[in-house]
Structure 1
Amino acid sequence: MKSLTVDQISADRVTILAQSYWSPDTKDSHLPFDPKIIEDIYETEIKGLDFSTRRIVVLELSQYLENYVWPNYSEDSTPAHLMSVIVLINEKFRERVPAFTSFEVHPTPFPTFLRQLMKSCLDTLSFSIKEQMLMIIFLNHLYNSIECDLIRNGISNTVSYNILECLSSGQLQCIFKIFPNWAKGLKRTARHRKKIEGEELENFDFDTKFIYNLINLFLERLESNSERR
């Protein structure tokens, strides 16, 4: 990929939009947040160009994630908004620069984002294969970044003792013979589950089966591809 010149970047559509909505250099004259901007950029500059690295780099250089996409993330955010975060964070990992600084500086949207991400990872109807692949790549980055307190706390229920409930009784007995203390951990999480209700219980159960369901989805894909051959 050829490097972009300063003149090319200055004349780029993304740069012009940045000056109106999120560039730090024009902060005092920004227009109000418009979610349609995120939709348009995702459909035309990201997905519409088959996730072109060249276009994503332009967005990255404009600080699109830091100053517009992430600070305005909410429970009402669309799949395009979700995917925009994912694509831009993945690009930071590709460039080997600090990727989760925006999350740490502005942590409030993270629980909502994470919940929407996990549900989307299991949604095979609303996202293309390419989008699903990008979500799994992002998820891999996430689980390899538990040194970040925000991320570690967010994903803890998906990797704690409670996930042992997804195993059969025979598998559990084999595991408890090797790791007897794990039985105590599972009992603790069972007691905790009895104390919660409503949305908290629903989220706890979802987290418990998340990785299990993700693995099953992967195996179903493998089986489906094998049958086609």
Structure 2
Amino acid sequence: LAHQNWAAGAPENACKNTISPSLVTKIYKEELHSCGPGPGRRAAANANRRLQLLEVTSYLENYLWPHFHATKSSLPHVMSIVLMANEKFARGFSFWDAVGVEGAGGGKGGEKFTAFFARIQDLLTGAWTRFDKKQAAAAAAASAGAAPKLSYHERAALTLFLINVFQSLEQPLVRGAALRLCSLPLWAALSPGRLALELKAYPQLRRHWLHLQEQAAAAARAAAAANGNAPAADGGGGAAAAPEGGSRKRKKPPTDEADAAADGEANAGDKGKGKGRLPEGLMAYLERFLELLVDLLSQLPTRRFLRAVLLDMKVLERCTLCPLGDGAEGVPRPEGKLFRQLLEMYRFYLGFEINDQTGRPLSGEEVVAMHQTRLHTLQRIVFKHYKEVLPELPFASASQAGRRAYLE
């Protein structure tokens, strides 16, 4: 197949002018579908051999990437590119050079990568069928309008691709596309109370947040006018008037992948309760997801706005209490050893003692003051809402209330 369609020496019209979607689908289903990362980030030996064979014949450079189309390429085509890209990263080859994105600008290769990265985001958020009417109609007929469900192997491969992307921020084009996922609009996923706390802690961001809310409101009005619907009246209480409230009621930006991913991880971990066997590929997906979060928290540009969202979603607590973590009953599952190791790394970077906006190391006094402020906030909430359940906690000293044994 390689010599007939894309390898060096193939007919001119075979690798440059046409592509066979059925061939791409066949290769993906028969050769690549099971080549995603397994537990411990390694694929099976036979899967590695298949990937290496396709890599040697330049399947990505000569066939997949030149014929990628932002709106028409199928799911097997996109996933094939992802798997081949992961193989290049694993072997130490430059994926960015292979697709023409190396260096500033990127030219046509840069435009194509931007479109491809948008497809990756839509795959992870379940919105990919909006690109192709035929695919959307088929999905609607098959599953009442729901987007096709990705397997855990595919989710793990996509997450590994994101890890590789965020480890390549030295590429200007990649940096511009990737950092949009971790910018200020991510705070639209925060609860109103948490958003108010963050804007109070960093007042210099309030003006930027108000500007973003005004832009979102204007876009919503324009969309409503285009659809012939009358926009809802703000009545003085719109986004600009109340930036701390109601952010969850509005449509979240497409960059808000962290919300869906964190919920997906916690829910998936809950499926492993008991002693039953975990679904195939789930372990690899959860490990890759935690690895992605660790990488994002270890870099200031990606940590800056993401950490507040992860804290608000209680990702650490939910992962710790799931059966793969410590377990709600203190009996963790044995196959979750690497998951728990990654969770400890996540815990370390989540609590790293720096200013999230500036990167300045926090002094010991600042760390103690922040800890006591959180304790006093907890005591006020307990006194107001849970005084009958925990009558002694609101009146405990900070040193006493901060001990795990006392809280238990």
Same topology, TM > 0.5: yes
In structure 1, C-alpha distance between the alignment counterparts of 2:34 and 2:275, rounded to whole Å: 28
Partner SS for 1:113: helix
Q: 2:164 aligns with which of 97, 119, 141?
A: 141
Which residue is equivalent to 2:23? Answer: 37
Kindly state the Cα deviation for residue 95 of structure 1 after the two structures are TM-superposed: 0.8
In structure 2, C-alpha distance between the alignment counterparts of 1:177 and 1:35, rounded to whole Å: 53
In structure 2, C-alpha distance between the alignment counterparts of 1:141 and 1:26, rounded to whole Å: 31
Q: 1:130 aligns with which of 153, 170, 176?
A: 153
Does the CA contact (< 8 Å) of 1:39 and 1:81 recur in 2? yes
Which residue is equivalent to 2:115? Answer: 112
Which residue is equivalent to 1:20? Answer: 4
Does the CA contact (< 8 Å) of 1:162 and 1:190 recur in 2? no
In structure 1, C-alpha distance between the alignment counterparts of 2:156 and 2:198, rounded to whole Å: 32
Partner SS for 2:170: coil
Larger radius of gyration: 2
Amino acid at match of 2:259: Y
Distance change >3 Å, CA 214–CA 157, structure 1 → 2: same
Kindly state the Cα deviation for residue 63 of structure 1 after the two structures are TM-superposed: 0.9
In structure 1, C-alpha distance between the alignment counterparts of 2:113 and 2:61, rounded to whole Å: 14
Are residues 1:183 and 2:206 paired?
yes
Q: Give unpaired runs (5+ residues) of structure 1.
A: 1-16, 199-203
Kindly state the Cα deviation for residue 103 of structure 1 after the two structures are TM-superposed: 5.0
In structure 1, C-alpha distance between the alignment counterparts of 2:65 and 2:271, rounded to whole Å: 36
Per-residue CA deviations over 1:128-157 (Å, capped at 9, x if unaligned) read: 111111111111212222222322232343
Kindly state the Cα deviation for residue 86 of structure 1 after the two structures are TM-superposed: 0.8
Are residues 1:219 and 2:266 paired?
yes
- The farther-off stretch of 76-85 and 151-160 is 151-160
Does the CA contact (< 8 Å) of 2:114 and 2:177 recur in 1? yes
Partner SS for 1:226: coil
Q: 1:92 aligns with which of 76, 79, 88?
A: 88
Kindly state the Cα deviation for residue 56 of structure 1 after the two structures are TM-superposed: 0.3
Identity fraction in percent? 21
Distance change >3 Å, CA 169–CA 227, structure 1 → 2: farther
Amino acid at match of 2:59: Y
Distance change >3 Å, CA 194–CA 103, structure 1 → 2: farther
Amino acid at match of 2:167: N
Aligned residues: 208
Amino acid at match of 1:158: L
Per-residue CA deviations over 1:9-64 (Å, capped at 9, x if unaligned) read: xxxxxxxx222222243353636321222111111121267760100001011111
Amino acid at match of 1:113: F
Distance change >3 Å, CA 148–CA 227, structure 1 → 2: farther
In structure 1, C-alpha distance between the alignment counterparts of 2:34 and 2:200, rounded to whole Å: 53
- The farther-off stretch of 53-62 and 39-48 is 39-48
Which residue is equivalent to 2:384? Answer: none
In structure 2, C-alpha distance between the alignment counterparts of 1:53 and 1:35, rounded to whole Å: 23
In structure 2, C-alpha distance between the alignment counterparts of 1:73 and 1:29, rounded to whole Å: 16
Which residue is equivalent to 1:59? Answer: 54
Per-residue CA deviations over 1:140-193 (Å, capped at 9, x if unaligned) read: 212222222322232343211111121112212222233222222212222332
In structure 1, C-alpha distance between the alignment counterparts of 2:154 and 2:193, rounded to whole Å: 37
In structure 2, C-alpha distance between the alignment counterparts of 1:208 and 1:117, rounded to whole Å: 11
- When normalised by structure 1's length, the TM-score is 0.79
Instruction: Please give the root-mean-square deviation of Cα atoms over the aligned residues, in Å.
Output: 2.6
Distance change >3 Å, CA 27–CA 180, structure 1 → 2: farther
In structure 1, C-alpha distance between the alignment counterparts of 2:91 and 2:116, rounded to whole Å: 23
Which residue is equivalent to 1:194? Answer: 217
Distance change >3 Å, CA 158–CA 48, structure 1 → 2: closer
Which residue is equivalent to 2:360? Answer: none
Kindly state the Cα deviation for residue 213 of structure 1 after the two structures are TM-superposed: 1.5
Does the CA contact (< 8 Å) of 2:168 and 2:174 recur in 1? yes
- When normalised by structure 2's length, the TM-score is 0.46
